[in-house]
């Protein structure tokens, strides 16, 4: 039972939740049942059928709708007297600025990507608002508390790049080639050649929700009287054409994303595939059956065109059904299976082409290994409960009892949860410390574009930088810039000697990001300002 002090802190708190997915649904439910009265939720995603097995606030009728809005409505049905404000939006939009964050007593993260986590971390530092961070991967999970000047911030320790990917990203909104590889390997390959009884999210899309039934036809089954060419074209048209068009019909999904394009076989295949792919193999074994060999493609380091990938897709499909028919239904992807690698590479590249993602060679595709660690509902529930426990401590300012808690897959000392005291801020952290960064720039060769792309965005993780030379803005990114200013800043990107005119080839620039967090010159926009605090010249 909560004490009167806890109840008072809970009822008077204004809480911001970021993310309404696996952790977010459990968190919103737990917050509401714990007595929180004023909750705000930000989430830009819409509900997919594949979410329904673990995001229990959603139902099949909600597919295609905003996660934040549906989660709000679901919770208000059993807690009608509380205030829940949903934002179907990207947390990185300029309206969610420092002033916006200052309205809240605590921020609770339930995000699934590093970029957004870093963004929220920096705004919480700038607004001096406590952040409770969280994450899960299968049976593993953690909850950490971050308070400016008292504990380490989210970026004090380097985070490894994630090797697992959310199912909804794989099936709906891929943005990297690895997403396409995982889709082709774990979904399409498994659907066509693997165990038919296993669950597969591939054919589940928003508009399918109203058409699903026990008697509905499996589009991936070869029909009676259908030859391999007809079957191959139909599969191609379904996964790269029809499914993309279904996704495009949900306009909410693409408000803040680049739209994919549907690709159909008639646009890339010749009228008769057998003439172009007509090479036959006699006495071939599993090891030497190869679509590349059949098509005369010799170099695995070549990046195939869309037409070549389409030919490899069909040829590998044909070879599986003509040469390895007995294995179909029992196959799992093996990186040492040449034909499987060829099929996955081709399928991933066609999907990448649809979503505007750069294509990769078979050699590169084979080296990209990534398996989805499916979300576990119980882990999400445990982590959500821990978030609320830490949030209550934060509201009570009970700093002596803050804990970073890790949920373990294999209990240590009979403990499923491992709580540890938060670490102190890392004095060399460029985000929350006062330690300046030193950068050497060759002013005769380096362009402003090099600095922006390689340092500001890639290394410092700033998406909307404002760069000043003295009192003058030389580069800025924002949603409300005038066209003439956009043109000026674009021209500046191509200039050398972009800081100060000087006769030296190299200069050292000391940059202090923390000074920005303390003195945000553009607080009202939430845009990060990179401030050059001093200059030292040397030869």
pLDDT of residue 281: 46
- In the annotated binding site, the residues are 19-24, 43, 51-54, 67, 112-117, 153, 156, 429, 432
In this prediction the pTM is: 0.61
pLDDT of residue 509: 45
Task: Give pLDDT tens digits for 258-287.
Answer: 899 999 998 887 666 654 444 544 444 445
CATH number of residue 451's parent domain = 3.10.290
- 427 in a domain, yes or no? no
For residue 49, report the phi and psi dihedrals to the nearest 5 degrees: -55, -35
Residue 355, pLDDT above cutoff 90: yes
Residue 189 DSSP one-character state:
I
- 127 in a domain, yes or no? yes
With the C-alpha atoms ordered 497, 499, 503, 506, is the resulting torsion angle positive or negative?
Answer: negative
Q: 332, 351, 369: which is the final residue of a domain?
A: 369
- 433 in a domain, yes or no? no
Residues 395, 444 within the same domain: no
**Residue found by looking up tokens 């909410």 in the block:** 252
- 143 in a domain, yes or no? yes
Residues 395, 363 within the same domain: no
Residue 209 DSSP one-character state:
G
Q: 340, 369, 398: which is the final residue of a domain?
A: 369
Tokens (6 digits) for 50: 């594949």
- 426 in a domain, yes or no? no
The mean pLDDT of 142-161, rounded to a whole number, is 88
Q: How confident is the model at residue 524 (pLDDT cuts 50, 70, 90)?
A: very low
Catalytic residue IDs: 168
- 428 in a domain, yes or no? no
Task: Give pLDDT tens digits for 391-418.
Answer: 999 999 988 999 999 998 887 777 889 9
- In the annotated binding site for ATP, the residues are 19-24, 43, 51-54, 67, 112-117
- 42 in a domain, yes or no? yes
Give CA–CA dist 45/32, Å, rounded: 22
CATH number of residue 238's parent domain = 1.10.10.520
pLDDT of residue 471: 64
Give CA–CA dist 116/90, Å, rounded: 9
Q: Where are the alpha helices (DSSP H) in 77-134?
A: 98-101, 114-127
Domain encompassing residue 129: 4-161+374-420
Count of the separate structural domains present in the chain: 3
How many other β-carbons are positioned within 10 Å of the β-carbon of residue 102?
13
pLDDT of residue 267: 86
Residues 248, 132 within the same domain: no
- In the annotated binding site for Zn(2+), the residues are 153, 156, 429, 432
Residues 401, 334 within the same domain: no
- Strands 106-109 and 131-137, by their bridges, are parallel
Average pLDDT, the chain: 81
Q: Which residues pair with 532 in a beta bridge?
A: 511
Residues 213, 342 within the same domain: yes
Give CA–CA dist 269/346, Å, rounded: 14
Whether residue 58 contacts residue 51, with contact meaning beta carbons closer than 8 Å, is answered with yes
Residue 164, pLDDT above cutoff 80: no
Residues 66, 12 within the same domain: yes
Percent residues over pLDDT 90 in the chain: 42
Residue 464 DSSP one-character state:
S
What are the start-end ranges of the E strands in 218-296?
none
Tokens (6 digits) for 229: 């060419």
Task: Give pLDDT tens digits for 207-259.
Answer: 444 444 444 567 788 888 888 888 999 999 999 999 999 889 888 888 888 89
- 538 in a domain, yes or no? no
Residues 393, 476 within the same domain: no
Residues 137, 245 within the same domain: no
Give CA–CA dist 512/515, Å, rounded: 6
Q: 361, 386, 420: which is the final residue of a domain?
A: 420
pLDDT of residue 373: 58
CATH number of residue 405's parent domain = 3.40.50.720
Give CA–CA dist 403/51, Å, rounded: 30
Could you tell me which residue, 350 or 525, shows the higher pLDDT? 350
Tokens (6 digits) for 94: 């300029």
Q: Which residues pair with 87 in a beta bridge?
A: 42
Whether residue 70 contacts residue 58, with contact meaning beta carbons closer than 8 Å, is answered with yes
Residues 353, 498 within the same domain: no
Residues 345, 380 within the same domain: no
Q: How confident is the model at residue 333 (pLDDT cuts 50, 70, 90)?
A: confident
Residue 23, pLDDT above cutoff 90: yes
Residue 2, pLDDT above cutoff 80: no
Residue 508, pLDDT above cutoff 50: no
Residue 102, pLDDT above cutoff 80: yes
Residues 218, 359 within the same domain: yes
Residues 130, 172 within the same domain: no
Burial class (CB in 10 A: 0-12, 13-18, 19+), 273: buried
pLDDT of residue 359: 95
């Amino acid at each position: 039972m909560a004490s009167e002090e806890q109840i008072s802190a809970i009822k008077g708190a204004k809480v911001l939740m970021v993310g309404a997915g696996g952790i977010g649904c459990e968190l919103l439910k737990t917050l509401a049942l714990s007595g929180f009265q004023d909750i705000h939720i930000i989430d830009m995603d819409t509900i997919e059928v594949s979410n329904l097995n673990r995001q229990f606030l959603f139902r099949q009728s909600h597919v295609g709708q905003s996660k934040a809005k549906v989660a709000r409505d679901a919770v208000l049905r059993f807690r009608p007297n509380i205030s829940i404000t949903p934002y179907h939006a990207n947390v990185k939009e300029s309206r969610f600025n420092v002033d916006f964050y200052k309205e809240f007593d605590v921020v609770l993260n339930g995000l699934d990507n590093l970029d957004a986590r870093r963004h929220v971390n920096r705004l919480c530092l700038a607004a001096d608002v406590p952040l409770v961070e969280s994450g899960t991967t299968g049976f593993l999970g953690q909850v950490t508390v971050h308070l400016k000047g008292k504990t380490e911030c989210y970026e004090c320790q380097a985070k490894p790049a994630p090797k697992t990917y959310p199912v909804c990203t794989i099936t709906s909104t891929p943005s990297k080639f690895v997403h396409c590889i995982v889709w082709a390997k774990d979904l399409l390959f498994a659907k066509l050649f693997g165990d038919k009884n296993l669950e597969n999210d591939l054919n589940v899309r928003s508009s399918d929700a109203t058409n699903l039934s026990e008697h509905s036809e499996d589009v991936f089954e070869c029909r009676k009287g259908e030859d391999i060419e007809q079957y191959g074209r139909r599969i191609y048209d379904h996964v790269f054409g029809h499914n993309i068009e279904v996704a495009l019909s949900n306009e909410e999904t693409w408000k803040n994303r680049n739209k994919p394009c549907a690709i159909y076989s008639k646009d890339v295949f010749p009228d008769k595939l057998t003439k172009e792919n007509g090479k036959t193999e006699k006495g071939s074994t599993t090891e030497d059956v190869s679509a590349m060999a059949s098509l005369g493609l010799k170099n695995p380091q070549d990046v195939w065109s869309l037409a070549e990938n389409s030919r490899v897709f069909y040829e590998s499909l044909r070879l599986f059904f003509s040469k390895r028919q007995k294995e179909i239904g029992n196959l799992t992807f093996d990186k040492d299976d040449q034909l499987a690698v060829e099929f996955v590479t081709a399928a991933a590249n066609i999907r990448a082409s649809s979503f505007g993602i750069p294509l990769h060679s078979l050699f590169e595709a084979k080296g990209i290994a990534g398996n989805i660690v499916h979300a576990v509902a119980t882990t999400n529930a445990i982590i959500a409960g821990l978030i609320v426990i830490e949030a209550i401590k934060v509201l009570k300012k009970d700093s002596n009892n803050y804990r970073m808690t890790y949920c373990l897959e294999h209990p240590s000392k009979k403990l499923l949860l491992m709580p540890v005291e938060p670490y102190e801020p890392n004095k060399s952290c460029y985000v929350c410390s006062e330690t300046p960064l030193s950068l050497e720039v060759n002013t005769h060769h380096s362009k402003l574009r090099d600095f922006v792309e390689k340092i500001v965005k890639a290394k410092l993780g700033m998406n909307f930088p404002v760069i000043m030379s003295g009192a003058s803005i030389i580069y800025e990114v924002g949603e409300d810039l005038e066209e003439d200013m956009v043109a000026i800043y674009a021209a500046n990107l191509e200039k050398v000697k972009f800081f100060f005119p000087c006769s030296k080839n190299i200069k050292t620039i000391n940059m202090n990001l923390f000074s920005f967090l303390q003195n945000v010159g553009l607080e009202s926009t939430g845009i990060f300002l990179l401030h050059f605090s001093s200059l030292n010249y040397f030869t």
